[in-house]
Amino acid sequence: MAIKLTSFNILFAASSIFCVPLALQAQDLEPRSYTNLPIGQHFIAAGYANSSGEVSPSPSAPVEDAKLDIDAYIVGYATSFSLFGSSAKFDTAVSRSCFTGSARLQGDKVSVDRCGYTDPTFRLSWNFFGAPAMEIQDFSAWHQGLVIGASMQVTAPLGSYQTDKLLNSGANRWVYRPGVGMSHRIGRWYYDIIASIRFYGDNDEYLGDGQLSQDPQVNLQAHLIYNFNRGHWLSLNGNFFFGGETVKNGIQSDDDQQNSRFGLTYSYSLTAKHSLKLSVSTGVLTRYGNDFDTYGLMWQYRL
């Protein structure tokens, strides 16, 4: 029984180690990103996500009534290990996305229907406080208190990108995202507080030979999680992200974002090795950017 309990606890702890690499990454909601895992574990995941809604362009853009629908098919891998005696993990994910949409460009209706691969993400997370590195046989006896960690995520410009298209699956630029977070357990309740900032590289092939630059963007998240039983939990999620004004060919766009989202995440362990996670979210405040409704389903398997 102890081994079975440990296996469900591992899936419970690991059920949010993968993020969805969509073009909407600034809007992400990631409960349980900073949680402890036994070392030496390996996970694979596959899933589907859909986002649809309106796009609020910057005042300088000649675009009106923009609507977009994105389907993404995601695969990912993660592994846990010891780093200076504390729990750490590495994860990577990529997706193939298909998007359709329409807008009015200078008064004329235009449409798009295209598929491609997103830029892959690579992330190293280290829980340096309150999360000792433990083998699987010791993990079931451990009880979480306060866990504090840090992470670095890198997005590489390896996705699909066409220089003559305004809308692409890949962004043709590097993105670096350092973050810090904490997770605290009180009985069956957990709460997470997370802060991160994205630093964007330049796209030197924007619409041909143009240049696109972007200011850093800050993302603040909070999650309230209830654990029904081992491997079975529900999270109430919210975030607020701001900044990220773009500069196109040296001209500021006045499109810095002050947006927020609200959502729910439900995770359930089917067996000691298999789990499912369902997530839904919606925009509650959008200045500029994407005001989307999003839902996703992720399957995860412990190797």
Q: In whole numbers, what is the pLDDT of the chain averaged over residues?
A: 86
Provide the residue range defining the domain that includes 278: 2-302
Q: Is 70 exceeded by the pLDDT of residue 125?
A: yes
Q: Please give the single-letter amino acid code of residue 36.
A: N
Adjacent-strand bridge partners of 150: 126, 180
CA nearest to 255, candidates 290, 281, 208, 221: 290
Instruction: Work out the pLDDT band at 108, boundaries 50, 70, 90.
Output: confident
Residues of the chain above pLDDT 90, percent: 59
101/168 Cα distance (integer angstroms): 12
Q: Which residues, in sequence order, are bridge partners of residue 180?
A: 150, 195
Q: E strands along the chain, which residues?
A: 42-56, 63-83, 86-105, 108-117, 121-129, 146-155, 175-186, 189-200, 203-206, 210-214, 217-229, 232-243, 246-248, 251-252, 257-269, 274-285, 289-302
Residues 6+ apart with CB under 8 A from 108: none
CATH number of the domain within which 164 lies: 2.40.128.130
The count of domains in the chain is 1
pLDDT of residue 4: 42
Tens digits of per-residue pLDDT, 200-227?
999 999 888 899 999 999 999 999 999 9
pLDDT digits (tens, 9 = 90+) for 254-272: 878 888 899 999 999 999 8
The pTM score is: 0.88
pLDDT, mean of residues 110-116: 87
